[in-house]
Every structure is written in C-alpha cells, then in structure tokens.
Amino acid sequence: MIDLFSDTHTLPTDGMRAAMAAAEVGDEQLGEDPTTRRLEERVAGLLGKEGALFLPSGSMCNKVAIAAFTRPGDAVVCESRAHVMRAEGGGSAALSGIFFEPLVTAKGHFTPEQLGAVLNAGNLYQSRTALVALEQTHNFAGGTVWPLQQYRAVADLAHQRGAAVFTDGARVFNAVAATGIGVEQWSSPVDAIWVDFSKGLGGPGGAAIAGSRDFIERANRFKYLFGGAMRQSGILAAGALYGLDHNLGRLAEDNANAARLGQGLTALGLEVIAPESNMVFFTPPAGTDPAAFVAALTKEGVRCSPVAGRIRMVTHLGVSAEEIEKAIAAVARVVKR
C-alpha cells in the first residue's frame, strides 16, 4: 500500500527505535527526565524562545496554548477551517470555555483588515478577543503557506489591539522547507508556537510548545491540569530528537514529491489545488463521490482520504518518488474507469 493518508502515518525507523531504546530517562513530572529536558532546550533554542514544554500531542499544545492565553468567555480568532476549531472535538470550548471567531479565507490566511474587523477589547456585553490562532502550514486549506509579510502584519495588529498570538506549527518545518525562511522568523512574530514530532519528522508522538518563561509556567500548569504530564517520556523525546537530527533536512523531498504528484494529477485533467508544501488536494471527476473515489484507489493500492469535499494526499518519509509515480498511475486507472 502506498500510504498517502497522512504524514502522521510515518513509522519510526530502525535508527530512531535504537535511539529511543537507548534514551536516558527519569520522572518527567518531577522534571527529572534528562532526554525530555534536552529536547525542550533544543526546541526553545531552535524557535528563539525562553522556554519550551514537551507535550504528548500537537492537539494538547493547542489546548494548553488556548488555556494559558484566555479566560472563560473570551473569543479566539482563527481561520474557518483551522484544525484547532474543526478537528479537536470542540476541546478548547469544553476545557477553556472560549468560543472561536472563524474568519473565512480562500487559502487559510486572513488579512489584517479581516482581523481588525473582529478584534474586540471587550466590555460588559461583548467578549474580549484574547487570542489569535494561526496555522502554518494550513492543513485543510491545502497545506498552504502563510506569506511572511502577511503573517507578521496579522500578528502585529493583534498585539497592538491587546490580543496574544500563537501558531499551530504542526507543519511549520514544511513551510521552512518550502520557503527557505528560517523557523525563527515564523516564531518571532508570535507569543507561542509549537512543533510536532509525529508528522514529517517521523516520530511516534509528542509535540513541543515554545514561548516566554511566563507563558511556559502557565502552560505547564495546564499540562498537569489536562493530564499531559508524563513519566519516562524521554523514550518519546529521544524519537523527537532523532527526527530533528535526521529528518528535518529531508522535508524538501516531501514537498518536491507533492509538487510532482500535483503535476501528474493535473495532467490527468483533475482540478488540483497547487501544492505549496507536502499536501495535494484534488477534486474527483464530475459526478464522482470523493469517498467512492478513495475506495477505488484503495483497491489500486493507494491509501488517501476525502477531506472537505476533495481528496487529500500527503507526502512523507514513508513514500518515495518512485511510489509517487505509481500513485499517479493508479489515479489514472481509476479516472479511466
């Protein structure tokens, strides 16, 4: 099976497993796991922030960031298809008592004008906009990459109007590979940003959120409160460190494979959202149900998923350039039928 379902399907390699098996560990809840601490220092340095916190998942990073920056009743602005609002079971509404103020965009990136129209200082009647959530790259919009200038302008405006800003950086390293713009440039305009180890970096789990010392202190309280404090988490952290050392540099390959896949599907006459990173979204031929198309592709040995009325294919370290050609050929067979 050529697995283009998601980059979350990356499997730990033998090298990563060996690093995990050899990890020095301790009680993370007591701050005594040396490998987790090493990972947190590494991430804080990489992102140019005062500190970082290792958490079991990216979803928990979103929950913790929102809890740390808001009070119940606050508004959190995000894009209308943001993962934090659409794909986390309503978690932040349930846990933090916030509501989302979604902004509709074409490519996942709102403008300062759109943001300015909804930012609210709050009063007895209206909610305060406490936080603006960005997503880099934007998953459900097509793996799209925020233009840096717009990203900065949005963050600056939020700050001028008293709101904090954080970035769901589940795939920020794919944006770095796509643009050549260093990760610290995506980090410095925002108050907090997190990175995921279980996607392109190939780890089995875990994510780390970075921010100021004060933010990390508040975030750590919510990490405990939400049940995210761990014990011998160094085993996971070792996988994450291995991913940073060995797989960060190869994300450009995934982006290139997605570009080739996009070309191949376009050449078959399919309507494709031009890939900007490691995701390809396309519309099946007129009159074809995306789920039925996906089922037919599964029979041809290609796994992918229907997402928001389209079909999504995600490239990652488990899929080679040769398999991309095979996937294009499989789509061609299904289209022909």
Residues found near ligand PLP in the complex (CB under 6 A) = 8, 57-59, 83, 135, 139, 168, 170, 196, 198, 207
Whichever of 209 and 334 has its CB closer to ligand PLP, that residue is 209
What angle is formed at CA 66 by the lines to CA 176 and CA 312, rounded to 5 degrees? 45
Whichever of 63 and 260 has its CB closer to ligand PLP, that residue is 63
Closest approach, Cβ 6 to ligand PLP, in A, equals 6
Whichever of 58 and 290 has its CB closer to ligand PLP, that residue is 58
CB atoms within 10 A of CB 117: 11
Closest approach, Cβ 335 to ligand PLP, in A, equals 28
Residue carrying the six token digits 């376009």: 266
45, 267, 269 from 264: Cα distances, Å: 39, 5, 9
Q: State how beta strands 207-211 and 192-196 pair.
A: antiparallel
Sheet strands (E) in the chain = 2-3, 51-55, 75-79, 99-103, 129-135, 164-169, 192-196, 207-211, 271-273, 279-283, 302-303, 305-307, 310-314
Which residue sits closest to ligand PLP, CB atoms considered?
Answer: 58
Assess whether the previous peptide bond of 8 is cis (omega < 30° from 0).
no
Whichever of 258 and 270 has its CB closer to ligand PLP, that residue is 258
Give the whole-angstrom CA distance, residue 210 versus residue 206. 14
Whichever of 171 and 264 has its CB closer to ligand PLP, that residue is 171
Closest approach, Cβ 178 to ligand PLP, in A, equals 15
Whichever of 208 and 270 has its CB closer to ligand PLP, that residue is 208
Closest approach, Cβ 123 to ligand PLP, in A, equals 32
Closest approach, Cβ 301 to ligand PLP, in A, equals 23
Closest approach, Cβ 206 to ligand PLP, in A, equals 8
Spatial neighbors of 63 by CB under 8 A, at least 6 apart, are 88, 91, 92, 95, 96, 222, 226
Residue carrying the six token digits 């060996």: 18
